[in-house]
Structure 1
Amino acid sequence: MDFQLLGPFTARHEGRPVLHGSRRQERCLLAVLLLHAGHAVPTGRLIDLLWDDAPPASARATVHTYVGRLRAALRPYEVCVETRHDGYAVERGPHRIDAQEFTGLVGQAADARDPVERIGHYDRALALWRGPLLADVADDRLRARLGGRLGELRLSAVEQRARAQLDMGLHEPVIADLTPLLQEHATRERLVAAQMTALHRTGRRAEALRLYGRTRAILADELGIEPGRELHALHERMLSGDPRLDRPPGPVHAVRVDDQWLPWTTSGHPALEFCNTYAGWGGERLPGSEWLPGYATLAVWAGHMDLIEERQTDRLRKLALHRPDEAAAALDEARRFRADLYACLTDPQDGRAFKAVAGVVEEAARGSVLTRREDGLACWRPSPSAGLRLPLHAVARPVGELLADPRRFTVRGCPGRDCGWLFLDESGRRRWCSLGTCGAGRSSDGGDGGPRPAPNPLRL
Structure 2
Amino acid sequence: MEFRLLGSFEAGPAGEPVVVGRRQERLLLAILLLEAGHAVAIDRLADLLWDGEPPPSARGTLHTYVGRLRTALAPYGAGIVTRGSGYAVEGAEVDAARFTDLARAAAATSDLAERVRLGGAALALWRGPLLADLAGESLRRRLGGPLTDLRLATAEAYARVLLDMGHHERVALDLAALAGAHPTREGLVAHVMTALYRAARQADALALYDLARKALATGSGVEPGVELETVHQRILAGDPRLERPAAPVYAVRVRDLWLPWSVGGHPALELCNTYAGWGGERQPGAEWLRGYPTLAVWAGHQDLLDDATVTQLVEAARRDPLGAAVVLDETRELRARLYACLTRPEDAKAFAAVVPYVEAAAAVSVFRRAPDGLGRWRPAPSAGLRAPLHAAARSAGELLADRRRLTVCACSSPTCGWLFVDHSGRRRWCSTATCGDHPK
- The answer to whether TM tops 0.5 is yes
Equivalence for 1:4:
4
Q: Which amino acid aligns with 2:163?
A: L
Cα displacement string for residues 200-256 of structure 1 (whole angstroms, at most 9, x for unaligned residues): 666888987897687556645653334445556667888999987665377742434
TM-score, length basis structure 2: 0.75
Q: Which amino acid aligns with 1:26?
A: E
Cα displacement string for residues 49-72 of structure 1 (whole angstroms, at most 9, x for unaligned residues): 112233233322221121122112
* 1:111 counterpart = 2:108: yes
Q: How does 1:56-205 map to 2 (within 5 A)?
A: 56-91=55-90, 93=91, 95-198=92-195
Task: Give the conservation status (yes or no) of the 8 Å contact 1:119–1:164.
Answer: yes
Structure 1 residues 35 and 381: CA distance shift in structure 2, 3 A: same
- Greater Cα offset, 45-54 or 218-227: 218-227
Distance 1:99 1:392 in 2: 34
Identity %: 54
Equivalence for 1:358:
351
Distance 1:23 1:210 in 2: 41
Equivalence for 1:24:
23
* 1:334 counterpart = 2:343: no
Distance 1:370 1:205 in 2: 49
Structure 1 residues 68 and 209: CA distance shift in structure 2, 3 A: closer
Q: Please, what is the CA RMSD of the aligned residues?
A: 5.0
Shift of 1:262: 5.9
Distance 1:245 1:204 in 2: 13
Structure 1 residues 62 and 222: CA distance shift in structure 2, 3 A: closer
Task: Give the conservation status (yes or no) of the 8 Å contact 1:327–1:388.
Answer: yes
Structure 1 residues 317 and 268: CA distance shift in structure 2, 3 A: farther
Equivalence for 1:442:
none
Shift of 1:404: 4.5
Cα displacement string for residues 358-407 of structure 1 (whole angstroms, at most 9, x for unaligned residues): 122444577664976456x99999999x9999976765554354344332
SS at match of 1:124: helix
Distance 1:293 1:81 in 2: 43
Task: Give the conservation status (yes or no) of the 8 Å contact 1:369–1:380.
Answer: no
Q: Which amino acid aligns with 2:118?
A: H
Shift of 1:40: 0.6
Structure 1 residues 300 and 87: CA distance shift in structure 2, 3 A: farther
Distance 1:205 1:418 in 2: 40
- Greater Cα offset, 245-254 or 61-70: 245-254
SS at match of 2:81: strand
TM-score, length basis structure 1: 0.72
- Greater Cα offset, 32-41 or 286-295: 286-295
Task: Give the conservation status (yes or no) of the 8 Å contact 1:6–1:129.
Answer: yes
Shift of 1:277: 2.5
SS at match of 2:162: helix
SS at match of 1:151: helix
Q: How does 1:343-354 map to 2 (within 5 A)?
A: 343-344=343-344, 351=346, 354=347
Q: Which amino acid aligns with 1:103?
A: T
Shift of 1:137: 1.2
Q: How does 1:226-305 map to 2 (within 5 A)?
A: 226-231=223-228, 247-248=244-245, 252-256=251-255, 267=264, 269-282=266-279, 285-293=282-290
Cα displacement string for residues 311-357 of structure 1 (whole angstroms, at most 9, x for unaligned residues): 9979x97998677997687456324314414533xxx5xx4xx3342
Structure 1 residues 387 and 68: CA distance shift in structure 2, 3 A: farther
Shift of 1:428: 7.8
Q: How does 1:216-227 map to 2 (within 5 A)?
A: 219-220=216-217, 222-227=219-224
Q: Which amino acid aligns with 2:94?
A: I
SS at match of 1:13: coil
- Greater Cα offset, 39-48 or 423-432: 423-432
Structure 1 residues 215 and 86: CA distance shift in structure 2, 3 A: closer
Structure 1 residues 115 and 138: CA distance shift in structure 2, 3 A: same
Task: Give the conservation status (yes or no) of the 8 Å contact 2:358–2:396.
Answer: no
Structure 1 residues 118 and 382: CA distance shift in structure 2, 3 A: same
**How many residue pairs were aligned?**
431
SS at match of 2:12: strand
Task: Give the conservation status (yes or no) of the 8 Å contact 2:285–2:438.
Answer: no
Unaligned runs of at least 5 residues, structure 2: none
Distance 2:122 2:364 in 1: 44
Distance 1:25 1:213 in 2: 39
Distance 1:211 1:382 in 2: 48
Task: Give the conservation status (yes or no) of the 8 Å contact 1:300–1:313.
Answer: no
Task: Give the conservation status (yes or no) of the 8 Å contact 1:7–1:132.
Answer: yes
Distance 2:321 2:169 in 1: 27
Task: Give the conservation status (yes or no) of the 8 Å contact 2:259–2:298.
Answer: yes
Equivalence for 1:50:
49
SS at match of 1:3: strand
Task: Give the conservation status (yes or no) of the 8 Å contact 2:367–2:377.
Answer: no
Q: Which amino acid aligns with 1:360?
A: A
- Greater Cα offset, 325-334 or 58-67: 325-334
Shift of 1:23: 0.6
Equivalence for 2:33:
34
Task: Give the conservation status (yes or no) of the 8 Å contact 1:412–1:422.
Answer: yes
Structure 1 residues 254 and 244: CA distance shift in structure 2, 3 A: closer
- Greater Cα offset, 209-218 or 284-293: 209-218
Structure 1 residues 228 and 370: CA distance shift in structure 2, 3 A: closer
- Greater Cα offset, 361-370 or 141-150: 361-370
Shift of 1:180: 3.5
Distance 2:319 2:202 in 1: 44
Shift of 1:43: 1.3
Distance 1:182 1:390 in 2: 38
